[in-house]
Amino acid sequence: MNKGLVVKTTGKWYKVRTSDGEVVDCRLRGNFRIKGIKSTNPIAVGDFVEFELQTTDGTGLITAVEERRNCIIRRSTKLSKQTHIIAANLDQACLVATIGFPRTSTGFIDRFLVTAEAYHVPCVLVFNKTDLYDDELQEYQESLFEVYRKAGYTCIGVSATKGTNLDELKTLLEGKTTLFAGHSGVGKSALLNALQPGLGLKVGDVSMFNMKGKHTTTFAELFPFGDGFIIDTPGIKEFGMVDFTKEEVSHFFPEMRAVLHDCRFANCTHEHEPGCAVKQAVEQGLIADFRYDNYLNILHGEEMDIEDWKK
Ligand SMILES: Nc1nc2c(ncn2[C@@H]2O[C@H](COP(=O)(O)OP(=O)(O)OP(=O)(O)O)[C@@H](O)[C@H]2O)c(=O)[nH]1
Ligand SMILES: [Mg+2]
Ligand SMILES: [Zn+2]
């Protein structure tokens, strides 16, 4: 029996890296199922699998997947019941965002952060393209960083093109398996190329017409990086969340989690109940208005994508 790490998935094929560094193209055994998973991809980058080597052509047949430490899952499309596993066995996720060219909404950021909280994956906020900032964007970044840092997230402004703050980012990645996720065109692949010269990942344009990326990266891929790994992923347009219960959502906002035990009702949704400690914290400015608004939007199941950039 051979074992390995899934480093790339391209539809039916999985590239699996064994401990001696060999990469074997594998498929799933015909009857391969994982109980209870309604995902479009039963196996994702970062999974550890067992496979049988085919003597005929040297490809492999995946027979089992090891239990995951964690994974990040999103709904494949709006209203879809099917889910998509972005990656498995992560130490952390870097959400790559841009506040200009294109602009990532805080609605999108918060949906991602909530999901990462739910799956116990620590998240770092990486704002790329700081070389394009004017004073206004610089100020906007600072105001967002203040809110997210207070909530406990590490925030870093970088420029893949100019190399700004990449040493700081490298330090955060040391010895860890890190997922890079975000909208198309924010510079995930450019950032990985800058971190690891020689990686040679394809980088695409951002359309000047609608300020959207062109989905240049089409498959997730994992690369060795020092003692750890970095994972490049295709751009996500909307972050469809897997359903959480209404009571759960506020627990995934760290600054709400800190006060919600003081709400009068144990099942408070922090929307209109009297004696709500979360609403009080919003009024006192301890919880940012936009975080609370995004919380309400998630509670009501409203989708937000790149178009809602004013949020
Ligand atoms: N000015 C500036 N442009 C950047 C920076 N980083 C990336 N870009 C540009 O942004 C565009 C998109 O970069 P990609 O790395 O392809 O973006 P991506 O996030 O990988 O996009 P997808 O693969 O489509 O998800 C390219 O034209 C890059 O040259 C940066 O720090 N500053
Ligand atoms: Mg890319
Ligand atoms: Zn409450």
| pLDDT tens digits along 240-283 | 777 778 888 999 999 999 999 999 999 999 999 999 999 999 99
Q: 132 CB under 6 A from ligand 1?
A: yes
Query: Can you identify the CATH homologous superfamily of domain 71-232?
Result: P-loop containing nucleotide triphosphate hydrolases (3.40.50.300)
Q: How far apart are CA 127 and CA 148, in angstroms?
A: 12
pLDDT score for 301: 79
Query: Can you identify the CATH homologous superfamily of domain 246-299?
Result: Probable gtpase engc; domain 3 (1.10.40.50)
Output the residue whose Cα is nearest ligand 1's atom 2. Answer: 129
Phi/psi at 100 (nearest 5 deg)? -150, 145
Half-sphere exposure in the Cβ direction for 59 (13 Å, CA): 12
pLDDT in tens, 83-120: 889 999 999 999 999 998 888 999 999 999 999 999 99
CA-96 nearest atom, ligand 1: 19
Q: How far apart are CA 111 and CA 95, in angstroms?
A: 11
- Name the 3-class secondary structure at 75: strand
pLDDT score for 79: 60
Model confidence at 42, in pLDDT bands (50, 70, 90)? confident
Q: How far apart are CA 228 and CA 122, in angstroms?
A: 16
Would you say 197 and 165 are in contact if contact means Cβ atoms under 8 Å apart?
A: no
75 CA to centre of ligand 3 in angstroms: 28
Would you say 100 and 133 are in contact if contact means Cβ atoms under 8 Å apart?
A: yes
Mutate-to-test residue for ligand 1 from 103, 161, 208, 211, highest number of ligand atoms within 8 A of CB? 161
206 CA to centre of ligand 1 in angstroms: 7
Would you say 183 and 108 are in contact if contact means Cβ atoms under 8 Å apart?
A: yes
pTM here? 0.93
pLDDT of residue 296 exceeding 80 = yes
Domain ranges (residues) in the chain: 2-65, 71-232, 246-299
Would you say 181 and 92 are in contact if contact means Cβ atoms under 8 Å apart?
A: no
195 CA to centre of ligand 1 in angstroms: 14
Q: How far apart are CA 163 and CA 149, in angstroms?
A: 23
Q: 184 CB under 6 A from ligand 1?
A: yes
Q: 217 CB under 6 A from ligand 1?
A: yes
Q: 281 CB under 6 A from ligand 1?
A: no
140 CA to centre of ligand 3 in angstroms: 29
247 CA to centre of ligand 3 in angstroms: 10
Name the nearest CA neighbour of 6 among 51, 56, 55, 52.
51
Helices 289-299, 106-118: crossing angle, 10 deg rounding: 70
Looking at CATH, the fold of the domain delimited by 2-65 is given as OB fold (Dihydrolipoamide Acetyltransferase, E2P) (2.40.50)
Q: 194 CB under 6 A from ligand 1?
A: no
